[in-house]
Each structure stands twice: as structure tokens, then as C-alpha cells.
Amino acid sequence: MPVTTIAGHDVHVDDEGFLTSPQEWSPELARTLAQNIGIELTDEHMKVIEFLRKDYAQTGETATIRRVQTVGGFPTKQLFQLFPKKPAKKMAYIAGLPKPHGCV
């Protein structure tokens, strides 16, 4: 399991760069993670990220797009606008969570 330095913090990541210890995440770190993949974090982004963090703490699984829409209340179109092309993976990466496993 590689350790990488992001924004001055040593964090554990998997081979692709996803954080493997959610407790090493912080909102400040999220800003840098987002920049790494070309996203400038806004309050709108952070609301989604906070939902993902909260949902993961409760369920132990990263929410899928469908769950972010139905449980979190964020419209699918908005998610594709905020995290273009691969929203599920990008949201999970910035939130310091594993990639979602669900099919839908």
C-alpha cells in the first residue's frame, strides 16, 4: 500500500491513488485532491462530498450515483456537471473513499 504526500500530509492510497484510510481525509485535503483531477471545489461540490462522507460512515460503502440522487437529493444532471465524465469515481476520490461497487 503506497504512502503519498498530498498537501503536506502523508496519506495511504491504493495503486490508483484513492485514499485507503478515510480518517486521513480532511476538507483541506479534498481541495488538493480535486485540483489533482482538474476540479476547483465549490460549496456545491462540498455538499455532495459531505453527503458521501456521512453516508459512508453510516453504511460502510461508497454511495453510487443513484444513491447520491435518491438519498442525498442531488439531481443526476448536477452530478455530471460538477464531476464531469466519471462522477462516481471522481466524487469518491475527492471524498477520500473507495470506488463504489454497486452496478447502478
Partner 1 sequence: MTATQTQPVVPSFDDEETGRKLAIIISKGTLDMAYPGLVLGNAALGEGVEVDLFFTFWGFDLITRKTMHDLKFTMLGNTATHMPQGLGGLPGMTTLATSRLKRSIAEVGVPEVPDFLELVKDSGARLWACRMSADMNHITEADLYEGVDGIISAADFIEKTEGAQLLFI
Which residues of this protein are in contact with partner 1, per CB under 8 A? 1-6, 10, 13, 15-18, 36-38, 64-67, 69, 75-77, 80, 84-90, 93, 102-104
Residue 16 or 43 with smaller CB distance to partner 1? 16
Report which DSSP code applies to 41.
Answer: -
CA separation for the pair 82, 90 (Å, rounded) = 10
Cα 83 from Cα 34, distance rounded (Å): 10
Q: Output 50 or 64, the one with its CB closest to partner 1.
A: 64
Q: Single out the catalytic residue among 40, 101, 103, 104.
A: 103
The least distance separating partner 1 from the CB of residue 1, rounded to whole angstroms, comes to 6
In this complex, which beta carbon is closest to partner 1, that of residue 53 or of residue 90?
Answer: 90
**6-26 residues labelled b (16+ CB within 10 A) or e (exposed):** beeeebebeeeebbeeeebbe
12 is catalytic: no
Q: Which residues are catalytic?
A: 103
